[in-house]
Amino acid sequence: MWLRGLSRGILTELGRAVSSEAGRTMQRNQQLASVYVSRRIPQEALRLLQDSGICDIKHWDSEDPVPRTELLKGVAGADGLYCLLTEKIDKELLDAAGPKLKVISTMSVGFDHLSLEEIKKRGIRVGYTPDVLTNATAELTMALLLATARRLMEAVAEAKNGGWGTWKPMWLCGYGLSDSTVGIVGLGRIGLAVAQRLKPFGVKKFLYTDFEPKPEIAAEIQAEYVPLDKLAEQSDFVTVHCALTPETNGLCNKDFFSKMKRTAVFINTSRGAVVNQDDLYQALTTGQIGSAGLDVTVPEPLPTDHPLFALKNCVILPHIASATVATRTAMALLTSNNLLAGLKNEPMLKELPL
């Protein structure tokens, strides 16, 4: 009898212990911050969130963008949002998320997909990823510029389709950087990094335009600050590195292209909407400018039947400026660290000032 009594006592104590532990577990779970991750991200970045011990993660684990309806459902009640530039973070989404949302961390340098006024009204903090993709973007800009100026895509096609015949003096001649003038629209980190890489090619002169002169940065490459019109008129190569804002939307338009040299090469690795693509098409087809290289377009992806794809003097890449393994991993880790810092009310590594 006493054994049965002892057994009942032990079971009771075990039940109390299990119940107590379950209560503590439930309490811990209730204290976890709800986080929505809107895309498949590098494992190191996801593991950082998982190992933090402060996140309850909902994850759209796909290479493809999350459908809008799924995104609106997924963010409901979230404390934190880990997003990409493909997600429109507007009033509708913020309303769907609700009042708990305290931090948005975007795996991008650009923030034109964020409705900053709506975010600011709600007191939500925003993390982003400048600096880490500067070198990769500058390298891709160089590759795109050289491929466009030296007509590399045309040359590859001719070699493949049998157009490569006997040597001809002027066949597939492009334009070189030696003794050229390069115009930089937006002399920030990336614009400067591109200029630094261009300098050893023998560029004679750098011009730049921005919201205001940047003498300290310009001094590093001996660049001259000029109005946009003068930059268009004097540059052999124009490369665009400005942020997309209401002021820069459609900045490179018919008027801009009409002032450029007929041999000029135009490169854009910033945001597609900085360029009026219809005006660019007209400039390329009428010989108003020589050629163009784009890593960004409107929309993205650009439809395969878009008229720009039919032009031999236009090179289009699928937005791959930051596409190195090291850079994308660094961006993802920075996004996770920004998110965790925001959830803990600590300073972010890179926070967008609102």
d(CA 57, CA 340): 12
When pLDDT is averaged across residues 105-118 and rounded to a whole number, the result is: 95
The 3-state DSSP class for residue 54 equals: coil
Whether 241 is a known active-site residue: answer no
Distance CA 28, CA 36 (A): 19
Rg of the chain taking only CA atoms, in angstroms: 26
Please check the confidence at residue 264 and state whether its pLDDT lies above 50.
yes
Alpha carbons 179 and 197: distance in angstroms, whole number: 15
Identify residue 345 by its one-letter amino acid code.
N
- Its sign, for the CA torsion 204, 132, 349, 243, is positive
Helix (H), strand (E), coil (C) string for 281-333: HHHHHCCCCCEEEECCCCCCCCCCCCHHHHCCCEEECCCCCCCCHHHHHHHHH
**For 338-350, what is each residue's pLDDT tens digit?**
999 999 999 999 9
The token duo for 325 is 């393994």
Beta-carbon contacts of 353 under 8 Å, excluding residues fewer than 6 positions away, are none
3-state SS assignment for residue 178:
coil
| Catalytic hit among 59, 113, 306, 319 | 319
Closest CA to 353 of 120, 93, 69, 72: 120
HSE (side-chain half, CA atoms, 13 Å) at 41: 31
Q: Reply yes or no on whether the pLDDT at 115 is more than 80.
A: yes
DSSP H stretches of helix in the chain: 2-31, 43-51, 68-74, 91-97, 116-121, 134-149, 152-161, 189-198, 215-219, 228-234, 254-259, 277-285, 325-343
Packing angle of the helix pair 152-161, 134-149 (nearest 10 deg): 60
pLDDT tens digit sequence for 123-181: 999 999 999 999 999 999 999 999 999 999 999 999 999 999 999 999 999 999 999 99
CA distances from 141 to 9, 24, 173, 266 (A): 74, 54, 21, 11
Return mean pLDDT, the chain. 93
> Which pLDDT score is estimated for 30?
52
Residue 21, CA distances (Å) to 16, 34, 55 in order: 9, 22, 20
What pLDDT, in 10s, does the model give residues 296-323? 999 999 999 999 999 999 999 999 999 9
Residue type at 129? T
Of 137, 151, 103, the residue nearest 123 (C-alpha) = 103
CA distance 256 to 250: 10
